[in-house]
Structure 1
Amino acid sequence: MVQKQVKQQNVIIKGTKDGLTFVLNDQCAFDDILEELSDKLSERPQPQENDSNVVKIKLVTGKRYLEEQQIEQLQNRFTEQIHAVIDTIDTDVITKHEAEEMRLDNQVSRLARVVRSGQIIEVLGDLLVVGDVNPGGTVKASGNIYVLGSLRGIAHAGMNGNREAIICAGKMNPSQLRIADVIRRPPEGEERTGEEDMECAFVNGENQMELERISKAGIIRPGITDERIG
């Protein structure tokens, strides 16, 4: 008995509570996807003219990289046939620009000098200052900030929205601390002797900033440690 070969599906449609998910074959030609997509969309119920609901589409593309023109072609199909919009694209592929941003976000920039009043230091990734940050000086990083000296100016960690970032200092006496969008200023009348232990600032589960001994930084944010050591 000859078994009938099942034709490979280039487009698989799955319904979810948030909309529709379209899984695209990442091994076939893009034109094949467009053709099969049009056929399958034509089989679905067409929206009524007075229907204002817009269906959200999630594309799952695997190892296929979609260029802007191809995304536009897909969007045109969805708009014309089922009144839907592409909401998210789930892909295993990243662009060179995205890869470079990831590399920069994971690097550590080292600065061995005093950050003086009026100076602004801004980096992608973590920032290590071997020196002081004077009043009026500002240090910013998309990752963590480590000041081995005295932090008396402004420090802004996680500047791209990363609330998991921390700020550590040998002497913590800042004019302002900021992690992502969470800001902490010294309370009125607070006087710090400068004899406190090295401290780290972090955002807790209630989105409030706290100070702790620097020895607890690895417990608060386990991801900052390298498990290959020790």
Structure 2
Amino acid sequence: MTEKKQQYVTIKGTKDGLVLHLDDSCSFRELLQELDEKLSTHYYEGDGRSLIEVQVKVGNRYVTEVQQEELRTLIRNKKNLVVDSIESDVVTKEQALAWKEETEIVSVSKIVRSGQILHVKGDLLLIGDVNPGGTVIAGGNIFIIGALRGIAHAGYYGDAEAVVAASVMNPMQLRISDVTTRAPEEKEDGAEGAEYAECAYINENNYIVVDRIQLLTHLRPNLTRLERGIV
């Protein structure tokens, strides 16, 4: 009795084209061979007058740029097939480092003086003051254990859920995502503002509101990295 050959390639048709599920346990050469055989059938060749988009899912297999090009070449050599995407569940080192930069909390102990700019990709925890004319920018949230008297821009890459918190909130300007506000008019130059820590966030009307920091647990219940599942 002939042993049934294991199937390394599964092809599914969708309204948008074809989805190729490629086994991640066999060798890449075995995969290419079976893929070539299956795509060579007349069913996938069509009449050549319209393109069929192909999504390739390689599972837990890391495919190099050279291997990706081999897959693209094999597929596009078949009549009227074009690769729309190649998706892998494996995260590259570069992707992991970029993700780490965007999600980590960067702790800095210094005074940001006039003319200085401190910019981080993730969350910023500043232990120190931001003097008038100084600027702090973060892709995520900004937490200042000290006085904010300069400019703070949280959610720099478009995160409207970001917040700014400071022990003393008396900024020249606050910006969260693409929403900007200046210091409240009632805070005169040189005034330290409230005697308690405050936070700034974008409300439901798309305005920046400054209020007691204790409200953050209700306004942003998933604020901490630990609660997000990021350790």
Q: 1:129 to 1:5 in 2, by over 3 A?
A: same
Query: In 1, distance between residues paired with 2:152 and 2:72?
Result: 43
Query: In 2, distance between residues paired with 1:140 and 1:12?
Result: 47
Q: Which residue of the partner structure matches residue 214 of structure 1?
A: 213
Q: Which residue of the partner structure matches residue 69 of structure 1?
A: 66
Q: 1:88 to 1:70 in 2, by over 3 A?
A: closer
Partner residue of 1:135 out of 125, 132, 137: 132
TM-score by length of 1: 0.79
Flag structure 2 segments of 5+ consecutive residues without an equivalent: none
Partner residue of 1:165 out of 162, 165, 169: 162
Q: Which residue of the partner structure matches residue 111 of structure 2?
A: 114
Q: Give a deviation string over 1:103-136, Cα, whole Å, max 9, x none.
A: 3334322222321111011123221112221222
Q: Give a deviation string over 1:29-72, Cα, whole Å, max 9, x none.
A: 11112122222222234354543x562x3332222001011111
Q: 1:205 to 1:12 in 2, by over 3 A?
A: farther
1:78 has 2:49 as partner? no
Q: Which residue of the partner structure matches residue 7 of structure 2?
A: 9
Partner residue of 2:185 out of 190, 199, 202: 190
AA at the equivalent of 2:182: P
User: How big is the shift at 1:173?
Assistant: 3.2
Q: Give a deviation string over 1:135-191, Cα, whole Å, max 9, x none.
A: 2211122222101222232222233444433221223333333334x221228x733
- Map 1:93-104 → 2, pairs under 5 A: 93-104=90-101
AA at the equivalent of 2:115: G
Q: Which residue of the partner structure matches residue 199 of structure 2?
A: 200
The DSSP-based 3-state class of the residue aligned with 1:9 is: coil
Q: 1:135 to 1:48 in 2, by over 3 A?
A: farther
The DSSP-based 3-state class of the residue aligned with 2:182 is: coil
RMSD of aligned residue pairs (Cα, Å) = 2.9
Query: In 1, distance between residues paired with 2:119 and 2:109?
Result: 15
Query: In 1, distance between residues paired with 2:168 and 2:196?
Result: 7
Contact 1:58 1:90 in 2 (8 A): no
Query: In 1, distance between residues paired with 2:93 and 2:69?
Result: 21
Flag structure 1 segments of 5+ consecutive residues without an equivalent: none
Contact 1:157 1:165 in 2 (8 A): yes
Contact 2:60 2:88 in 1 (8 A): no
